[in-house]
Structure formats: C-alpha cells, structure tokens
Structure 1
Amino acid sequence: MTARIGVWLVGAQGSLASTVVLGARAVARGLAGRGGLVTELPEVAPLPLVGIERLVFGGWDIAPTGLVARAQAMARDDRAVEPRLVDALADDL
C-alpha cells in the first residue's frame, strides 16, 4: 500500500474546502483534467511532490452542513461546480 498524506482543512465544510476536496478527488479519479494545476507548470512538474491521488482530507468546521450538502448547494445554487462531479464523488466527500 502506498503511503497517504493528510490534508487538514479549517472550515472544512465551506465553499473553498469543498472545492479543494471535490477538485482533488475528481482529478485523482480521472473525472477532471490536470490543466490549470500549479503542479503541472514546467517549473514545478519535475519536483518530487506527493501525487494528488495520495491526499486524504479531513478537517473541522462549526457549520452544521455536511461536505456533500455544501457541494450540492454549490452545484445547484452557485453553479460553481458541475452536478455530475458532486454525484460521482459523493462517497469521497
């Protein structure tokens, strides 16, 4: 088993954290491309960074909303993310 790396998010159920987790999981599962990632820049790509598929997310928040519910609201109300990604990654959130 490959070692995983933890990412701890303060405000873990907010819009920013939801977007980070959803995007990372989408890339890791091949549901989104890597275009636009800083890690893909020529200056950064050769560095021995941890692969996005090895990231494990956790965190805390005082908001009563769950991560899935926040991602669904972002898709439905804000149109910030695609609903298909939220549906496909609900078990990852």
Structure 2
Amino acid sequence: MDDGSNPHRIFVERTLAIIKPDAVHKSEEIEDVIFRSGFTVLQHKPENPCVWLAEWLMKNCPNNPEVCDGDTVKDTKHQNKNEHRSSDKVVSS
C-alpha cells in the first residue's frame, strides 16, 4: 500500500528465463550464454519437480526412513512403542 510516506523507492529489474522442453538437453550451453551476458542465476527449478521432491524428501525426511527393498522400509531413528519388527518390516500391534 502506497501512502506516500516513503518518497525514495528502489525498483529492481529482473529477467525470467525459461528453457523450453525441446532445448533442455542444451541447458548447460544456454546457462553459459546467460552468464557471459552478465546475468546471474538466482533460482533453478528442476526438470521434473515431482521426482526431485521425492528424492529430496527421502534424503531430508525428519524421521529418516531407510528404504531397504521394494515396499520394505526401516525406520532407523523413531520406533513406536507398539511396533515390532518381522523380517525388517515394521508391523503395528
């Protein structure tokens, strides 16, 4: 909301660059051109955000589950008192 109380305002120009899907294989070359032109890349978004998020959650999940085999998951940090292990699978009782 502009009430006129701050007469000194700084406007910063930003440029959005989007690499089209058919040029993703040349993304490194495109980034080189961007850097040589004097621009700075402030943020990247992954090519496939769902896969990236799934991998990030597996690495950074607060309870750090350990994927062992298929549907088998071992929880190495937090054990519920009502759970016991049956051949590496967590079974609730």
Give the TM-score, by structure 2 length.
Answer: 0.21
Larger RCO of the pair (alpha carbons < 8 Å, separation 6+): 1
Q: Which has the higher strand share?
A: 2
Q: Which has the higher helix share?
A: 1
